[in-house]
């Protein structure tokens, strides 16, 4: 296993895609911070699994939508592993689906705060030390909903499209410091968030199946690796051809 | 926090600017960042160095006002004393 002199923070990593990303980065040698909002048992299970496989991980509580949380997460992670955060994966996200004419202000705001504003604040917090280190990896988990219309998700789509725009902008700002910022845009992936979906939606997926969290995590692991050093500002769709 | 002298800050700023690619021969208190080819990203990194090493938090609006190396040194010293 490769030795890393930095560590990785994955938000929303107690289950689903985030948990798979934490496992994949740990398997690639990253000491990982497994952030969670409410599912402590889930986060601790992810940590235990990583440790059992010889990796290093720590569970870090905190609702990323709270503006005071990024500093707290970074300080806790840096002091736990005694090293800088050189990879950030903005994965935490929520959805509050409703058709545009019926969407309530609070459901608009909640999704924008968690899925977009939190990623901005975490990215801002991550970049200072990465600029000094002259390297770093930021991977934002967007969605095909940010690229292609999906009725009933105006808030989620706006947040994810915003996240893609943030990804590209930050990428060009810091590219010459050896830092890459990329987005992964999953399509229909088997998680709690998509439970009950399928059927009609699945018929639109050329691969005719849902993806797995591990298939998304593999792409994140690549973008966080040294091998991806010339990939920045990119949006990698992982969607069985849905957005093609 | 230990007091910092103007000389210490000056020497740290020169070291940082050199690491950003400025020609050390050309750096003086009067030289402007523009002349030294130091851009806004470099100044953001300088702010991070100052925060890490002197505990002084410089905001974007503080940095925008800075024209010369001397401006930056004086601002850092005055904040470190405050």
Distance between CA A92 and CA A83 in Å, rounded? 23
CA distance A177 to chain B (A): 9
Report how far residue A100's alpha carbon sits from residue A98's, in angstroms, rounded to the nearest whole number.
Answer: 6
pLDDT at B2: 56
Taking an 8 Å cut-off on Cβ atoms, the answer to whether A131 and B52 are in contact is no
pTM: 0.94
CA distance A81 to A166: 29
Q: Model confidence over A20-32: pLDDT tens digits?
A: 999 999 999 999 9
| pLDDT score for B60 | 80
Helix or strand run (H / E) with residue A219? helix A213-223
Confidence (pLDDT) at A238: 98
- pLDDT tens per residue across span B49-58: 999 999 999 9
Q: Active-site residues of A: which are they? A: 156
Domain locations in chain A? 6-238
Q: Which fold has domain A6-238?
A: Rossmann fold (3.40.50)
Instruction: Determine the average pLDDT of the residues in A92-98.
Output: 96
Residue A211, CB half-sphere, CA atoms under 13 Å: how many? 25
Cβ contact, residue pair A131, B51, below 8 Å: no
Please state which of the four CATH numbers 3.40.50.720, 3.60.21.10, 1.10.1200.10, 1.10.287.90 is assigned to the domain occupying B6-81: 1.10.1200.10
Tell me what the pLDDT averaged over chain A comes to. 96
Q: From the CB of residue B4, how many other CB atoms can be counted at a distance below 10 Å?
A: 17
DSSP annotation string for A226-242: GGGTT--S-EEEESTTT
- In chain A, residues with a C-beta closer than 8 Å to the C-beta of B49 are 132
* Cβ A128 vs Cβ A85: under 8 Å: no
| pLDDT for A2 beyond 60 | no
Residue A201's pLDDT band, with cuts at 50, 70 and 90, is confident
Q: Is residue A57 scored above 70 in pLDDT?
A: yes
ipTM: 0.86
pLDDT at B59: 85
User: Which tens digits make up the pLDDT trace of A101-132?
Assistant: 999 999 999 999 999 999 999 999 999 999 99
Q: Which of A68-82, A197-211, B11-25 has the lowest mean pLDDT?
A: A197-211
Contact A131/B at CB under 8 A: yes
> To which residue do tokens 């938000």 refer?
A11
Q: Is the pLDDT of residue A198 over 70?
A: no
- Asked if B59 is an interface residue toward chain A (Cβ–Cβ < 8 A), one would say no
Q: Measured between CA atoms, how close is B31 to chain A, in angstroms?
A: 23
State the pLDDT confidence band at A193, using cuts at 50, 70 and 90.
confident
- Residue of B39, B45, B46, B53 to mutate when probing chain A, most A C-beta within 10 A: B45
Please tell me the distance in Å from B63's CA to the nearest CA on chain A: 15
Contact at CB, B48 and A177, closer than 8 angstroms: no
Please report, for residues A54, A93, A128, the alpha-carbon distance to residue A233 in angstroms, rounded to integers and kept in the order given.
Answer: 33, 20, 18
Q: Give the pLDDT confidence score for residue A195 in this predicted structure.
A: 74
pLDDT band at A165 (very low <50, low <70, confident <90, very high): very high
Active-site positions of B read 39
pLDDT band, very low/low/confident/very high, at A3 (cuts 50, 70, 90): low
> Which member of A129, A132, A173 has the closest CB to residue B41?
A173
């Amino acid at each position: 296993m490769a030795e890393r002199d930095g560590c990785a923070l994955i938000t929303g990593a107690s289950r689903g895609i985030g948990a798979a990303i934490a496992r994949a980065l740990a398997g690639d040698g990253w000491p990982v911070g497994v952030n969670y909002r409410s599912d402590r048992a889930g986060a601790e299970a992810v940590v235990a699994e990583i440790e059992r496989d010889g990796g290093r991980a720590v569970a870090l509580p905190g609702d990323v939508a709270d503006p005071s949380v990024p500093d707290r997460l970074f300080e806790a992670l840096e002091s736990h592993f005694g090293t800088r955060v050189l990879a950030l994966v903005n994965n935490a996200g929520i959805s509050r689906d409703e058709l545009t004419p019926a969407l309530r202000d609070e459901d608009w705001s909640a999704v924008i705060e968690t899925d977009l504003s939190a990623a901005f604040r975490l990215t801002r917090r991550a970049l200072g030390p990465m600029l000094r280190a002259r390297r770093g990896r930021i991977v934002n988990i967007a969605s095909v909903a940010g690229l292609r219309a999906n009725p009933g998700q105006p808030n989620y789509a706006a947040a994810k499209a915003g996240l893609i725009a943030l990804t590209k902008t930050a990428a060009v700002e810091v590219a010459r410091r050896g830092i890459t910022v990329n987005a992964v845009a999953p399509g229909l992936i088997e998680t709690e968030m998509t439970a009950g979906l399928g059927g009609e939606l699945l018929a639109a997926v050329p691969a005719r199946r849902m993806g797995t969290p591990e298939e998304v995590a593999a792409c994140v692991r690549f973008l966080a690796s040294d091998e991806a050093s010339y990939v920045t500002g990119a949006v990698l769709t992982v969607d069985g051809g849905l957005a093609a | 926090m230990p007091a910092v002298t103007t000389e210490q800050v000056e020497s740290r700023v020169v070291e940082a600017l050199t690491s950003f690619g400025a020609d050390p021969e050309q750096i003086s208190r009067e030289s402007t960042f523009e002349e030294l080819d130091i851009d806004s990203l470099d100044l953001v990194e300088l702010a991070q160095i100052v925060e890490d090493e002197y505990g002084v938090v410089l905001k974007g609006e503080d940095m925008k006002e800075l024209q010369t190396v001397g401006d930056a040194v004086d601002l850092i010293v005055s904040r470190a004393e405050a």
